[in-house]
Every structure is written in C-alpha cells, then in structure tokens.
Structure 1
Amino acid sequence: MTEATSLQPLQIDVVSDVVCPWCYLGKRRLDHALEMTAGLEVAVRWKPFRLDPTIPPEGVTRKDYLEGKFGSLEAVQPMHDQLSDLGRMEGIDFHFDRITRSPSTVDAHRVIRWAEAEGAQDQIVERLFLAYFTEGLDIGDPKVLSEAADEIGLDASLISEQLASDMDRATVEADIENAYHIGVTGVPCFIIAGKYAVMGAQEAPALAQALVQIATGQTA
C-alpha cells in the first residue's frame, strides 16, 4: 500500500454502529482530528457493525434491553454519566433518558450504504446519531429513517421504497459478518489505508497523529 498522495486520498474505513455511544464520540473526535490535519487529503467511508446481533428486527424496549444486559437501569447509570460528560466536551448532547427502544440497526446501515453513492454518508451518520442519542427516536423505524434521509437531502420516497424491499440487506449483513471475521470485536474501529487499525474512540490529537504518521509512511 503506497502512502497517500494528492491523487490518492488516505482511506479511512470507520467500522461503527449508530446505537453505539462510543462510536458517536469517536465520530466527533475523528471530525476534530481531520480539522487538525486539514492539509491531509482523506476519504472516509462508514462500514456496518452490529453492537448486539441478538436484537430482533422489531427491536426491544430499552428498559428490557438494559436490564437484560446490565441487570438493572441503575447499573448502567455511571457509564451514561461518564459518556454524557465526555460528550459535552465534543459537542454531543446525550439524552439516554429519552431512548425508549433498542433497535436492530440493519436498516439504518442500509440507508448509510445508499448515502455513500450521494456523497452523504457523513451527514446521514451524524443525523442518525443525533436522532437516537439526543432525540430518542427509534432508528429501526423505516419512517424515522426516511425522514432522517430527507433532512439531509436524500430522496425520502426512494429510501422508503428501498427499505420496504430487501435491497442490499444481504450485502450489509455480509459486511457485518466480515467485520467479525477480520477481528473487529468492538467499535469504533478506524481502519486506515486498508491495513492499520485504530481501536476505540481515541482522543482527537492521538488520532490526528496516527493519520499523519500513516500518510507520511512513518509507521514502524
């Protein structure tokens, strides 16, 4: 793999799930890292992951999900408090109390895939994070997904039609399986230049440093 040049942007594949609060934090930190490396030409692509593949297509109530995973709502509160504090530092307004459902995100990932062709992946990912973590919307609901797509300039009627079909469902599910296959066990995971993996919601300066080192061939 050659270093990035003006003719070949540095590819950053972000393996992420839109119900993962650390992924939202990671996105904002990536945004800030890219601001710090403004002279670096990059191409960011969002790749699907399911934080919990056991969630059924219709989703589950948030209360049942949290109690099943953590034992009680009280047990998860310290993590929510920590994330809320970290989020404020990155301009994220987490409102975990507004979330009523834990959805399957396969359909959300299908919409993110379709947005790539329109050059709007970053916008739809940001909109879906906001919808879920700040507005408490059910991003497993096709209507919510279509409205989110409309708000960032995609064709809502086309998105609705595609969601009602199985278009790209198998492809998205295969991409998710591939993430597991290559060893991604937690997200966000930033795969840079196709071969360097940066795991977790790294702080922006550290992420910016990694990008520059990889782009200039300074890695060990």
Structure 2
Amino acid sequence: MAVSFDLFGTLVDAPKPDDPARAIAAELEARGVDVPADWDEAYRTPYIDAPEGAEVPLHAHVSRALASRGVAVPENAARRAVIAAFDPEVERRKGAREAIEAAREGGPVGLLSNCSVPELVRRTLIRAELPGEFDAVVSSVACGWRKPHPKAFGAIAVELGTPVEGLTHVGDSPEADGGIEACGGRAILLDGTSLTGVPELLGER
C-alpha cells in the first residue's frame, strides 16, 4: 500500500512570516522594486479567478498586485522575492524519519504538500535532512491543486503508481489531509497522535 505524507505541520515545523505582505514588500524593495504605498490592500485583493481548490502561485498573485498599482516587474523578481520572504528555519519533528521508514516497509512513499511558494518544499526537505526520502514529491504549486481537492490526491497517487483508493495519507489537518477519505483512501491524522505513533498505525493496514 502506498503512503503519502503532508510536510508542514506534520514532518516539519517551519514558521510562516507574521505579516506575509510586509515580508514580501521588504524583499521586493531589496530588489529595487518601488512598492506602492497601499501595498497591504493590493496584496489582500484577489486578481486571479481560479476554480475552487486550484492553487494560485503566490508570485503570480504578487505580480498582479503590483501591476494593479502600475508597477511592472519581471516575474522572476516577484518569484525570488516571494521565495526569500518564505524561506524559514526548519525543524524536523521527532519521529519523522522513523514514520517514513515504517511506511516504506509496505510500499512506495510520497510527499503531498499544500504550498503556493515555488521551491519551498524542496528547500524545506533539504534543511530537514529529508531529501531523497520519497519516491515522489508533489506540491500544490506544481500540480495546480490544493488538498482536499481530489486532483491533489490523484496527482500523488499517479506518481506512486497506485489508485487513489489504495493511498494512505498522513497529515495534521482534518480538513485538508482528511480529504483523502472522500477519495476512498485512508487518513492518519495527527490530532492526538504524534508521529511516533504512526508506525504502529501503519502496521494496522
């Protein structure tokens, strides 16, 4: 049976900026971008009419927000600013590696993470000393869909070579990660269960 893991809040702790708009503004200014005076309002305004459950890359949103105020920047500048603003210190949670190893005993192991920032999942895995631990890694910014949308779980299932009904997903969010159950798969939620208890729960499959 294939197993997928959530990343943030499950395998690692990686705090987000307290004020994302200000953090991004600081990184834009460091790159010579003239950030508009009403940036907070511009940042909060939606610009991309995406289907429900679709992921909007944060740098695309930032580019549109700047453009709405007459500030044109290369998309790469917005991308680099966003990545820098969300590049956190990372702490791997106790039991993370053991849970992954236990999952591997039963079949392929993947990672499925909601993340609108490009490169952040890869950087986080490196800092948590978990690169190369997964047979497949899927982020919402790469596949275009956020958990609990079925297409997000479908994307990791395809990468792991299993029907989505055969997937067990481990995560901390009943709403997002628990969405695997609506697809016919199994959820292991870390609400009252730590990662150290996951190997035993996986053994019950």
Q: TM-score scaled to structure 1, two decimals?
A: 0.26
Q: TM-score scaled to structure 2, two decimals?
A: 0.27
Structure number with the higher helix fraction is: 1
- Look at both structures and tell me which one has the larger radius of gyration over its CA atoms: 2
